[in-house]
Structure 1
Amino acid sequence: MLTEEELTFLRSMFDLARTGDTGRLVEAIDAGIPVNLTNGSGDSLLILAAYHGHPDTVRALLERGADTGRVNDRGQTALGAAVFRRSERSVGLLLDAGADPALGPRSALDVARYFELPDMLLLLNGR
């Protein structure tokens, strides 16, 4: 059982991913926080970093073994989030790490088609 202080600390990790505070997030992961820490909505640190447009954080999480196959409670993946945000750099990093463009009920390919993002479709299909 975790204390309220420990839970608050873990919740702060998601804020670091959202804000792209790569240094502090990596320090916590290197000290033992799980790289695939997931919140109550199924969002992993990687999904949040990708959604909020922080490719350096995405890269650092991938280097530490973040799972590109995590799907949140809304059926979204980190790759889908990066596509939605039109972050070519994050999309490339995720694809290079083996992310599947067709994974999930709201896959990265679905996102690119639905929001009519031809540049993202090219990236996804070009790999």
Structure 2
Amino acid sequence: MPDAAPPVLDDATLAFAGRVFQYARMGHAAELAGLFGQGLPANLRNDKGDSLLMLAAYNGQVEATRVILEAGGDPELANDRGQTPLAGAAFKGDAAVATLLLAHGAAVDGTGDGSRTALMTAAMFDRTEIVALLLAHGADPDLRDAEGRSAADMARAMGAQATPAQLNAAPRPGP
């Protein structure tokens, strides 16, 4: 049986949804908590596949990130580009959000629907604090993306100044 067409949403519903996603972006944690208390799903996603958690994490909204996680937001829910909230925090260089996501079960070497880990993203953009945090949580610096590139390879390709050496010096598990 073919998939049913998505429901047509009225203007009031679309406006409400827009406000909810804006709450996540802008860090309106109390408003989000109230909506979750009324039954709003914590894993609501927009037309780009960005979850409320992705929007809060990417925009550095620590308290909103916490509220969404505590309401059941999935730290592994990737957007349509295969990015996880941890990768979003790594890209932005937000150690507080990354730490919170890791504490709530984000997979340190998770790749969402893609093949790039948060460590790879952090390394590419020379986010040394995030690289150190992820390595301390057990990130594997030797993982490869779908094209066979390691985090250090990606960092060098992007012209990162500090992270290639940081990754090369990272301890590796013994035999």
Provide the TM-score with structure 2 as the length reference.
Answer: 0.69
Alignment partner for residue 89 of structure 1, among 86, 92, 96?
96
Indicate the structure whose relative CO is greater, using CA pairs within 8 Å and at least 6 residues apart: 1
Which has a greater percent of helix?
A: 1
Q: Which segment is superposed worse, 35-44 or 100-109? A: 100-109
* Distance in 2 separating the partners of 1:76 and 1:61: 18
Q: Does 1:79 align with 2:86?
A: yes
Matches for 1:1-127 after TM superposition, within 5 Å: 1=7, 2-104=9-111, 105=114, 106-127=116-137
Q: Which runs of 5+ in 1 are unaligned?
A: none
Structure 1 runs of 4+ aligned residues shifted over 6 Å read none
- Cα deviation, residue 101, structure 1: 2.6
On the 8 A contact 1:75/1:107 being kept in 2, the answer is no
Q: Could you report, residue by residue, the CA deviation over 1:62-104 in whole angstroms, capped at 9, with x for unpaired residues? A: 1111101111111211111111222111111100111013222
Q: Which runs of 5+ in 2 are unaligned?
A: 1-6, 138-175
Q: Could you report, residue by residue, the CA deviation over 1:39-69 in whole angstroms, capped at 9, with x for unpaired residues? A: 0101000000011110111111111111011
Over aligned residues, Cα RMSD in angstroms?
1.3
On the 8 A contact 2:32/2:67 being kept in 1, the answer is no
Q: Which has the larger radius of gyration?
A: 2
Percent identical: 39
